[in-house]
Structure 1
């Protein structure tokens, strides 16, 4: 029996859908026809895309039970997050704020987070090299993986956050230039990643990554808040009003593990094609309705899969990894353990 129960995030994507509370159950209606009924205690959060209606009763009940309601536009861009009173241990938050004021500790934490990101990115590239059909692709992936290994070694020598961010930025540019070599050659015509573009994404691969990163970000924010940490106060990402810097910090070590790997799987298996995307004025490329449904379904299925956590030495669902890492971070900030260890994929 699993030690972890994943409370699935409920994604509502149909325009004009109506989500409301019915005797402890979330009921989703479209044109007054019931499409889905889910017990509220099975719902970890509700994410609504575009023009979706939510009843006040459901909002109040979710706030009372500490379940977040997240509003995204129809393309998956974040709009707002509604939640009840902030929970958490004030002593833990005080420890977090003290750590953020300690330059040496902040540097150490930021370095640990980036170590996780770079090593996991390197693991993805090496796996791609082993499975590559052409030696030229394998050579590019191996060479970039070696560069990421050198970047990991450079982290320990960084004297300040700006240096760390510079190392990460250079490594990311190399990584995104190489990832396209994992895409099957026959599919690269339609999924050519020409560097990382965000606002807006300029190609189908970037559009897919942006959508996955948005869902990952939501999960990471829920994780840090669930353990009582202040999502606004990060160590690697600069603090700005309205920015969940700590959630962005935690997201870094999971980008390649959860989002990039899933993106490549969806592309290489043909689960997404060019028909799942649309081009808009100005050159923006975005997933269309069918594409978003395919990605959300795959995302939920991926979170149910289990793998072995290297620190806990036990199998856990992928969906709880951000929560487990948030707990490790909280333990470090409380002084229960000396350092933070990022999740490292195998």
Structure 2
């Protein structure tokens, strides 16, 4: 499975790079340490998403540390990481593209540091802008079958965790991932 994931990931990030209107130094996805502004935005956006997915997992009553795709390691919320995978390309990745391509963030929104573990960091203004846009994205409404129509993405995350809980409890035969439907 890792071979397929690796190939799909390489193709995905190549397509993501092609969607960037300017050269931000982004060559591929590198999460730690993020070497360029785009990777720094993605990493911070994923941290925000992980926080919300972890909260939904706990709300539903599951253990965020007992995952099945990400390896279980001390202090690693493997289940929350598993569950957030289907929301990265829906919530964070397009948001970063919009902010970068739309000029909401510029090179001045990042600081280079001497710390090799953190060579680039977001300024306070860029951090605030990303948080505001991320929260607005979570409040956007989309269709989810379990909601009987449109509901906020924050609720959709919870509904997906509830789908997984039903599968674990034997009340569902399979897990149906969240799919964004285009018209």
**Shorter-chain TM-score range:** over 0.9
- Mapped to 1, the partners of 2:126 and 2:33 lie a distance apart of 17
In terms of Rg, which structure is larger? 1
Q: Which position in structure 2 is the counterpart of 1:270?
A: 103
Q: Which position in structure 2 is the counterpart of 1:206?
A: 39
Deviation at 1:285, TM superposition (A): 1.7
Secondary structure of the residue aligned to 2:10 is helix
Q: Does 1:314 align with 2:149?
A: yes
Q: Which position in structure 1 is the counterpart of 2:167?
A: 332
Cα RMSD over matched residues? 1.4
Secondary structure of the residue aligned to 1:316 is strand
- Mapped to 2, the partners of 1:332 and 1:229 lie a distance apart of 12
| 8 Å Cα contact 1:177/1:193 also seen in 2 | no
Paired residue for 1:290, among 119, 125, 138?
A: 125
Which fold has the larger relative contact order, with Cα–Cα distance below 8 Å and residues 6 or more apart in sequence? Answer: 2
Deviation at 1:338, TM superposition (A): 0.6
Deviation at 1:238, TM superposition (A): 1.0
* Residues 232-261 of structure 1, C-alpha deviations (whole Å, 9 max, x = no match): 110101111111100000011111111101
> Number of aligned pairs?
179
* Residues 106-163 of structure 1, C-alpha deviations (whole Å, 9 max, x = no match): xxxxxxxxxxxxxxxxxxxxxxxxxxxxxxxxxxxxxxxxxxxxxxxxxxxxxxxxxx
Q: Which runs of 5+ in 2 are unaligned?
A: none
* Residues 301-334 of structure 1, C-alpha deviations (whole Å, 9 max, x = no match): 1111101115545101012221110001011111
- Mapped to 2, the partners of 1:310 and 1:268 lie a distance apart of 32
Secondary structure of the residue aligned to 1:345 is coil
Deviation at 1:343, TM superposition (A): 0.6
Q: TM-score, normalised by structure 2?
A: 0.93
- Mapped to 1, the partners of 2:120 and 2:180 lie a distance apart of 30
Q: Which structure is higher in helix share?
A: 2
Q: Which runs of 4+ in 1 moved over 3 A?
A: 310-313
Q: Which position in structure 2 is the counterpart of 1:169?
A: 6
* Residues 199-255 of structure 1, C-alpha deviations (whole Å, 9 max, x = no match): 110011100000000000111111111000011110101111111100000011111
- Mapped to 2, the partners of 1:192 and 1:310 lie a distance apart of 40
Q: TM-score, normalised by structure 1?
A: 0.50
